[in-house]
Structure 1
């Protein structure tokens, strides 16, 4: 419905339209006609496969994870080019000799490997020959690796710029992924026993090496070079260990042992892919069903109706709406692009600078990753890694998420007050009375939360949420019939591809950490630091978590930090839940931490502001998230651990501390605050945030004193007179 049509119908202006539409990446293809339909069918089939296995017919673990991974690789190479695309690309020139040579090598190498694997499967299916062809399995691997490398190089150098075309090398990479899948599934029984040992076969090495090359190339296409470089450093560390000093030293490994170990459930097929193939894809499909029924538009319009007229209204809407959307979106930067395209221009309209507009959106979108119940899929990885029930993690996350969003809200409100900003006119906003009549659109989220806490499994709760989203859509103009359901299934697969690649890449890092034992040595290092000062050790852990997460999507950032840093914190005596929440928060906040702040950079691109200045502003607005982990480290009550009275006391004082912190950062406390007052306010905030009645009383006393000072109830004259008396 257009804005005009909505007004004519008596529903008021509709600000949010197309918030649910997935933005197209610069290198994403948009094939037409039969090719596009074929890819759409493949995507829908990929999604349906996961739903059937999770809900109806369980599959052997390795086989399921391999199909999940390789299916993601195939869809990824079909939908994402190695180079940026354009809708009006020039006509392709004739291929030169170098390009033809690369494509020829790729076709011969990958073709030979694929044919050998296909022959083995054909002989088994048609003639019952269970033993693989010895010569073929000895010789298929090296040509497959060489062909894969040639195809990757050809794609780097010569890919078509036309969105509608699929470059031949990418089709060959799809065949390579299928060949890897075919080999591993054929020998999976024996491979489980011999991978990572001296009994590993050369064929195992070539399949694993090819798989890792494919994972790294797709990760580069989807997330850029940052994660690929980090994975490359860890792989290099596995071979350079004997020559490294101190706690980094290890004995080193042969290529066969290393790569075959990495491609097991200790590495690539480990916890990240386990979560990606179950919880993450399930809730991404749930989000796709919400998007197909246009519920996201309703969320944003509802937020505008509630807060759009308040001072700095669009910024407050960004806090609410981006938090809601970020909760079901697996990436902070992706959420910035989808909701920021609406909120950033409106924030600029009411007086926020481009820098502040982008920073507010980035901070709110990143906060969505810590907002229960979905937490951008991070909660599911935490449950898998720690063995703590998912519902316990969700409950523990409530107060820290509240503190974060309250802090951001305070900063936005105080900034609007300081700059005397107004909200949007009521005539330009959706009518709350009309939107409240559609409050049933929140039902899918409510049903999801209820079923989770009623004792249903996460998978069953997600499936019920999906069905409820489909049913609720029938009460709106966006009814989900067969066509929209198909689109939701297709969208779910495409939205999950990035996380499949990211989780597989993170699995490589986790495998390296497990194989080399560097995590245990890092724990010893933290213990040594803690002998001097435990808070110093926690600060060191914070820095490492942020550095590991820079340039990486949230899911991968947490998976790596959980493998490297969390065991060290646990060795200090920190409870498992507290340790994992600690690293999770900093992994998430790496998206707004300079110098590599992906969410802030995405916001800067939309607002036209300087990326580095925007990331600094986002860091300032999200400062609470850098303090909250130290708060629940010192006071476990903030994670719902302890007596009810203690939980209420800790939460109340922390909320007041967040207000004082916001006032100090923004420079407004019942009036403009100078530099000295800002420093005192931040000191009082840290005192309130600290644990204990004495520090709370000190912070409260300072806050009351500053309030009286600002209200002119206390002046230098009255102070000196009181002193004289």
Structure 2
């Protein structure tokens, strides 16, 4: 083995250590303790989300302390080869968990006393708040590395220490350390703010729902159904990976977990069919990443998005379906092209028909149907998740392996284990979100990127994508979305809404109440607003409106539906771009997990996954520049259909291959066809021209390939 290969293998092993937490043996005393604490804690959360009446602050504190104990026991403080060293590590971890619980007990017992003193700290208040924050930082360091704890420390010290020493827009007068500690631990603003509430409600209940689905056998059914649906076609194993990983990822909400669980089946399957190893790993990584974009679960980000935007969760998952399908189809197009080029063949994956497999496992779809139905009928997501968990248990009784009491306990314990690191992460990130709220730095950052973009929506999208890539090197997807949404969503929302306003002004359809604002600013402009004008003039006109008036102008000019769609589009764009940390080198954990299974170089596998996941960048452009979200049904379907063919043409341009090889000229024509169908405009003739060009290239390449095969 060469030195470079040894280096690559070592790099892969290092990355996998960050993927797979070193969990203690579940059959040991510690493992059994984690198991039973997980069971009790899952039951407690079900109670909190259904019948409980405790204050949200107390529940958030209990949520943190319980998962602090589980996380500390799951991820040892240090590794030791000696029995004595392991005992010391276990003692330290257990002490951390017990101290976290003690801090929560103190908050509950002495909260009233703190307010009776006028929020004046005594020694015990200082100790408890410092220790609790230190535990959150340490456990976050264990599970995600140093980036997030460092970010939290920088944010907290900015408020009470070095903020006043900064000149310019980022200067901050500062708050006392006592105020910072109170808001960070004892109030519903910091560790136990809105992000923590989302964690113990939406996120945990749906992770628990996913654990029950997997335990009931639904995961095996999804993979088997995908095999029967796509396995016998040319390139079918690749389509099984796309379909199976997409469906599993929607349930699990974790791209890394999805890669590890389904990749052990799909990657060898693709290699057996003739796909290159690196391509097989890239497909699995790209498809698993898309699982967090696919309704109904969509990972933790969808619930945070619902909280940030105050848009119903059911509406978010409704508008997310077609964009998610575009993403998976774009990966599928790469699979088809590579199958034709590599002469990948169909393999017999299952002797049973699709109907037989569906008949045997149709009941696994009942919980998802119950979930969607309850959401549509207006029940809260937490209530819907709780009922759906019961539906999983009941539906399993229709299978050959019904869930028994032990299986239910296993699902409860596994749900808590799956949630532990996410819960600690979300609680810790709440400290950063609190600093942004206390200092107003979010508004400052939004104004700054608005100035950098110069009013250009495209430049702003590029800035957000760059920020997402940089944050993704140190932050998990959920944390990256929280930070980006807090800092950049307002500015992105304003630009998207302004683009709709520009369309109204260009058409001369600006409402009278909005014209009044322009009249107050410049009476000479009022007469111009009744007639159509060019885009440049409309943009220049809006640029003259002071920032204080722009919000009022948007509310007067655009109806609430359009504003809601603009807000959702802004958050959806950020949510999509936040996913690129899974597949974008140099830190792409999902791709590294797939590389470990395929035994391919991690970094080159990351670049392959990045190429296959180009939909993560193209679809957000559609969300920003078209009515893909919030438009009329016919308009949305038109955008979807032409974007579908546009993505196929884009793959042909990238690969130089459709049904057969494309020379340089034809490859450029394929890029032109993609541009015509994907570039935002409102002219169906341009879309149709692109579609006709693509169909011509498709037919030509197909005939050329058939001729070359017949000659051979």
TM tier, shorter chain? 0.7 to 0.9
What does the per-residue CA deviation read over 1:95-154, in whole Å, with 9 as the maximum and x for residues that have no partner?
xxxxxxxxxxxxxxxxxxxxxxxxxxxxxxxxxxxxxxxxxxxxxxxxxxxxxxxxxxxx
- State how 1:193-342 maps to structure 2 within 5 Å: 199-238=120-159, 239-244=161-166, 246-263=168-185, 264-342=187-265
Distance 2:299 2:311 in 1: 18
Asked if 2 retains the 8 angstrom alpha-carbon contact of 1:527 and 1:571, the reply is no
Asked if 1 retains the 8 angstrom alpha-carbon contact of 2:172 and 2:439, the reply is yes
- State how 1:520-559 maps to structure 2 within 5 Å: 520-559=443-482
What does the per-residue CA deviation read over 1:659-706, in whole Å, with 9 as the maximum and x for residues that have no partner?
111222232123112345334423431331122215424533542553
Asked if 1 retains the 8 angstrom alpha-carbon contact of 2:77 and 2:92, the reply is no
User: For 1:422, which of 345, 349, 362 is the aligned residue?
Assistant: 345
Distance 1:222 1:462 in 2: 27
Distance 1:699 1:192 in 2: 67
| Residues 64, 505 of structure 1: alpha-carbon distance in 2 compared, 3 angstrom cutoff | same
Instruction: Give the gaps of 5 or more residues in structure 1.
Output: 1-22, 94-157, 714-725
1:476 aligned onto 2:399: yes
Asked if 2 retains the 8 angstrom alpha-carbon contact of 1:78 and 1:166, the reply is no
Distance 2:699 2:410 in 1: 60
Asked if 2 retains the 8 angstrom alpha-carbon contact of 1:50 and 1:277, the reply is yes
Moved more, 230-239 or 573-582: 230-239
- State how 1:574-593 maps to structure 2 within 5 Å: 574=497, 575-593=566-584
Distance 2:34 2:446 in 1: 46
| Residues 600, 711 of structure 1: alpha-carbon distance in 2 compared, 3 angstrom cutoff | closer
- State how 1:152-171 maps to structure 2 within 5 Å: 159=86, 167-171=90-94
What does the per-residue CA deviation read over 1:610-665, in whole Å, with 9 as the maximum and x for residues that have no partner?
111111111110101111111111112x12x1222212211111111111112222
Asked if 2 retains the 8 angstrom alpha-carbon contact of 1:314 and 1:423, the reply is yes
Asked if 1 retains the 8 angstrom alpha-carbon contact of 2:21 and 2:143, the reply is no
Q: Secondary structure at the residue paired with 2:252?
A: coil
Distance 1:191 1:412 in 2: 61
Residue 611 of structure 1 corresponds to which residue in structure 2? 602
Distance 2:247 2:430 in 1: 28
| Alpha-carbon offset, residue 35 of structure 1 | 4.6
Residue 72 of structure 1 corresponds to which residue in structure 2? 67
Asked if 2 retains the 8 angstrom alpha-carbon contact of 1:304 and 1:430, the reply is no
Residue 654 of structure 1 corresponds to which residue in structure 2? 643
Distance 1:697 1:204 in 2: 68
What does the per-residue CA deviation read over 1:175-215, in whole Å, with 9 as the maximum and x for residues that have no partner?
210221122112334657999x8x45554343222112111
Residue 100 of structure 1 corresponds to which residue in structure 2? none
Q: TM-score, normalised by structure 2?
A: 0.81
1:622 aligned onto 2:620: no
Moved more, 222-231 or 507-516: 222-231
Q: Secondary structure at the residue paired with 2:454?
A: helix
What does the per-residue CA deviation read over 1:197-248, in whole Å, with 9 as the maximum and x for residues that have no partner?
8x45554343222112111221222233343344344345444333445433
Residue 347 of structure 1 corresponds to which residue in structure 2? 270
Moved more, 53-62 or 693-702: 693-702
Distance 1:344 1:233 in 2: 42
Structure number with higher helix proportion: 2
Root mean square deviation, CA, Å? 2.5
Q: Secondary structure at the residue paired with 1:466?
A: helix
Residue 539 of structure 2 corresponds to which residue in structure 1? none
Instruction: Give the gaps of 5 or more residues in structure 2.
Output: 1-17, 498-565, 705-712
Q: Which runs of 4+ in 1 moved over 6 A?
A: 192-195
What does the per-residue CA deviation read over 1:80-106, in whole Å, with 9 as the maximum and x for residues that have no partner?
21235xxxx85425xxxxxxxxxxxxx
| Residues 611, 674 of structure 1: alpha-carbon distance in 2 compared, 3 angstrom cutoff | farther
Distance 2:455 2:405 in 1: 64
Residue 52 of structure 1 corresponds to which residue in structure 2? 47
User: For 2:673, which of 675, 684, 687 is the aligned residue?
Assistant: 684
Residue 432 of structure 1 corresponds to which residue in structure 2? 354
| Residues 662, 269 of structure 1: alpha-carbon distance in 2 compared, 3 angstrom cutoff | same
Residue 382 of structure 1 corresponds to which residue in structure 2? 305
| Residues 565, 291 of structure 1: alpha-carbon distance in 2 compared, 3 angstrom cutoff | same
Asked if 2 retains the 8 angstrom alpha-carbon contact of 1:523 and 1:571, the reply is no
1:699 aligned onto 2:690: yes
Asked if 1 retains the 8 angstrom alpha-carbon contact of 2:77 and 2:142, the reply is yes
Distance 1:547 1:75 in 2: 30
What does the per-residue CA deviation read over 1:154-188, in whole Å, with 9 as the maximum and x for residues that have no partner?
xxxx556xxxx961111111121022112211233
1:669 aligned onto 2:591: no
Distance 2:697 2:258 in 1: 39
Distance 2:700 2:116 in 1: 73
What does the per-residue CA deviation read over 1:436-490, in whole Å, with 9 as the maximum and x for residues that have no partner?
2122221111221122112222122111211111011112232212111111111
Distance 2:367 2:647 in 1: 32
| Alpha-carbon offset, residue 261 of structure 1 | 2.1
Residue 63 of structure 1 corresponds to which residue in structure 2? 58
1:180 aligned onto 2:127: no
Q: How many residues are paired up? A: 614
| Alpha-carbon offset, residue 354 of structure 1 | 2.3
User: For 1:642, which of 604, 614, 631 is the aligned residue?
Assistant: 631
Q: TM-score, normalised by structure 1?
A: 0.80
Distance 1:215 1:419 in 2: 50
